[in-house]
A and B are shown apart, each in its own frame.
Chain A
Amino acid sequence: MPQFDPANFASQMFWFGVFFTLLYVVVVRPTLPKVGRVIEARETQVAGDLDRAEAAKATADTLRATHEAAMKAARDAAQAEVAKARDAAAKAADTQMKALAAKLDADAEAAATRLAAARTAARASLETTVADLTSEAVAKLAGITVTPADVSSALANR
């Protein structure tokens, strides 16, 4: 096997040394760190972008929370306003109703009083008329003079 012939070892190792040194010093050393820096820059950028996205999301969340709170507050206020208006309207209607009912009651009372007075008056005038007629009738028929007052008291005593 040519691999175990020491005669060519020196040449192989020499040229390997030359080419590997060239590879490391001239090719790898100047080029690879450039890529390494780019990779690091990219990682930094990606991490930064992610951080910014995180921050933006937090801001958006805060804004949404604020907005929702404002909406809720506005809705509550509106509802309170409506409830208040409704209560006020109901109260006003109630008061009016009560006032009307009181007035109607008062009117009915007055009418009833007037009616009773009229009835009493009518009855009194009827009794006077009856006494007058009776006294006239007695004077004409029996010739006895009886005053209407007598008739009235006689009627009252019966």
Chain B
Amino acid sequence: MANPMEQFKIETIAPISAGGFDLSFTNSSLWMLIALITVAAFLFIGTARPQLVPGRMQAAVELLYDFIRDMLRENVGKEGLKYAPLIFAVFVFVLACNLLGMVPFVHSFTPTSHIAVTFALAMIVFVLVVAVGFARHGLHFFSLFLPEGTPLFVAPLVAAIEFLSFLSRPFTLAIRLFANMTAGHVLMKVFGGFVVSLGAVNVGLGIIPLGVNVALTALELLIAVVQAYVFALLASIYLNDAVNLH
């Protein structure tokens, strides 16, 4: 039975190295490139000739874009709408990586199951929040760490806790996505292994884990979408802190 961790192995396709770093083009890079091309095709076709009465592809693009805009309007307010393209890019990139990792038979790889990628994504959000916060409020942005009405004698403690929780955001954001994708894929692989090992004992027995895997596939597709949504939702909630200071 194949090791369930084998699917996460980074395989070098074209070795590149620069400045002492290994920057090889790998299977992870390849699937990020495929995600990029998929999203590009979707967006370029969908916005080729924007019309007042949209065609199918334009309606699909609008649906996604409206979804992100509504999320920002709800969590940040009108001010947040100008960040819609960036949040949209984060959302579709995560969504495309998650979903493409589910394609069977093509040796697919899920870049978002690697913490390096999810952390880089989370850092984009974190840097955006910090940059927007300081650009809008200057040093007053630090008042974010001291919620209004905090009694003075607990203020240092509260500020320390708030600061730590703020700093931990990119990590929780990164780990949530990576852990969800990894765990789901491991689970599918484990049950896939069961199909083979139990099927070898008795073909009828192999049907049970196969059925479970069918259900797991549906669940994984759901998780792929939900985690992309959660990532974008948390990004917009964090952005609200930067824009409105609670």
Spell out A's residues near B (CB within 8 Å).
Answer: 1-5, 7-17, 19-20, 22-24, 26-29, 31-39, 41-42, 45
Contact = CB atoms under 8 A, between A and B. Distances in A.
Nearest to B21: A10
A8 B116 contact: yes
B217 interface: no
Interface stretch (B82-90, B132-140, B148-156, B192-200): B82-90
A9 B29 CA distance: 12
A16 B40 CA distance: 15
B58 A35 contact: yes
Contact of B88 (A3, A4, A17, A28): A28
Contact of A23 (B8, B36, B111): B36
In terms of DSSP, what is the predominant structure of the interface of chain B? helix
Interface size class of B (residues with CB under 8 A): 35 or more
B8 A3 contact: yes
Contacts of A39: 62, 65-66
B114 interface: yes
Contacts of B117: 12-13, 16
User: Of residues B26, B116, B121, which shows the largest number of chain A Cβ atoms within 10 Å of its Cβ?
Assistant: B116
A96 B33 CA distance: 113
A11 B120 contact: no
Interface of B: 5, 8-10, 21-26, 28-29, 32-33, 35-36, 39-40, 43-44, 46-47, 50-52, 54, 58, 61-62, 65-66, 84-86, 88-89, 92-93, 111, 113-117, 120-121, 124, 178, 182
A14 B89 contact: no
A147 B121 CA distance: 168
A38 B111 contact: no
Given A19-B36, A27-B36, A11 B89 contact: no
A20 B121 CA distance: 9
